[in-house]
Amino acid sequence: MIFVVILIAGLCVAYANGANDNFKGVATLFGSGTTSFRRALLWATVTTFLGSIAAFLLAGNLIKSFSGKGLVDDAIATQPAFAAAVALGAGLTVLLATRIGMPISTTHSLVGALVGTGVIAGSALNLSSLGTNFLLPLALSPLMAIVITGTVYPVMRTARHRLGITRDICLCVGKETVEILPVGHHAVAMQRAEQLTATLGDTVTCQSRYRGQVLGISAAETLDRFHFLSAGMVSFARGLNDTPKIAAMLLVAPYLSVSTSLVLVGTVIAIGGLVGARRVAETMSQRITTMNPGQGFTANLVTGLIVIGASRFGLPVSTTHVSCGALFGIGAATGQAYKKTIATILLAWFVTLPIAAGLAGVSFWILKQI
């Protein structure tokens, strides 16, 4: 019975992870108007699943880290009730956040659940391991993303100017241009888009378009291709980093190998993203900062490099924290960050750990009574 609970709870975490996290890698594609929600979601699903499969070869250290061994007593970490409680605590936390559209970290939730379950189980926590192997990477990675993105974007913007590539604000119906406005009049453009929507009867969107060529190649088309590749890299990195953390809990159940667990978790993550990503997608794409394709590409490039590097060395960073940090950095560099949304997201991050710890601790107590 307990192994059935572990399987269901672990897959619940995988589903919640997909619903809350899958769109984060491609949020800049949708937010910058580069592509539609559906196309971005499909690209995220495919590349995330590929990352989940690649985790078998590249992210074995993360499976060991999230088994609980080294953080709590080994005798407790190997108990089926421990794995089930961790999965329940983390899964319920992420599902709750997804319901209200908040992009929180599955990694952060799992760490909280590991700590909460360990405390209720009566285990002495390895505080050195908790700080060095879990909390430090979680805290430093978004700060790195903010600093690197805020530094790199102005450099790339300067390079664009020197190459003679200009940028316009395009009022468009689909791919058809209705009107061109100069850069720097975002509020005017949004108002004009509303007027044209009412007049034409079709939805007019406000998009940023690049004009110019580099070595005879259209700058706009080239950037869009690189933007898609960078979004795929982030989604791949997310699958690579998150899948083994969740699969670690399933390995307590008998008859499940590492490869089977990774494929199973990767499949359910994909389903969760396809079914439940919309609310978090809107927050990530439209409520943190306005962005154009160049800014989105920069944020994705920084996020992907940080997360892939961390996965390679077994560091449990959060793709959510890193991707949001990169968007915070873009907002800081452009002065167009939505501070209220950012403050709400930071508050959600702050309460994630204690909520996950509490839910996991209660789950462990109930399971032990049963």
For 89, residues 6+ apart whose C-beta sits below 8 A from its C-beta are 109, 112, 113, 116, 117, 356, 357, 358, 359, 360, 361, 362, 363
Tokens of residue 125, six digits: 């926590």
pTM (2 d.p.): 0.81
Contact 297, 222 (CB under 8 A): no
* Residue (of 323, 345, 338, 344) closest to 289 by Cα position: 338
Identity of residue 351 = V
What are 224's two structure tokens?
A: 């869009």
DSSP 182: -
Q: Which of 45-59, 137-151, 178-192 has the lowest mean pLDDT?
A: 178-192
* Among 197-211, 280-294, 320-334, the least confident range: 197-211
- Overall average pLDDT of the 197-211 stretch: 75
Express as a percent the part of the chain with pLDDT over 90.
21
Residue-level pLDDT at 61: 61
Q: Residues 63-74: pLDDT tens digits?
A: 666 656 677 787
Q: Higher confidence at residue 307 or residue 15? A: 15
Confidence of residue 155 (pLDDT cuts 50, 70, 90): very high
CA neighbor of 212 nearest in space, from 204, 220, 223: 220
pLDDT recorded at residue 137: 83
Average pLDDT, the chain: 84
**40-54, 91-105, 260-274, 303-317: the lowest-pLDDT one:** 303-317
Q: What is the average per-residue pLDDT within 176-185?
A: 71
pLDDT at 302 (0 to 100): 92
Write down the pLDDT at residue 100: 86
- The Cα 238–Cα 25 span in angstroms is 8
- 212, amino acid identity: G
Higher pLDDT residue, 63 or 335?
A: 335
Provide the 8-state DSSP code for 173: E
179 forms beta bridges with 171
Q: Which two tokens stand for residue 255?
A: 């008859």
Taking a C-beta distance cutoff of 8 angstroms, is the pair 238, 51 a contact? yes
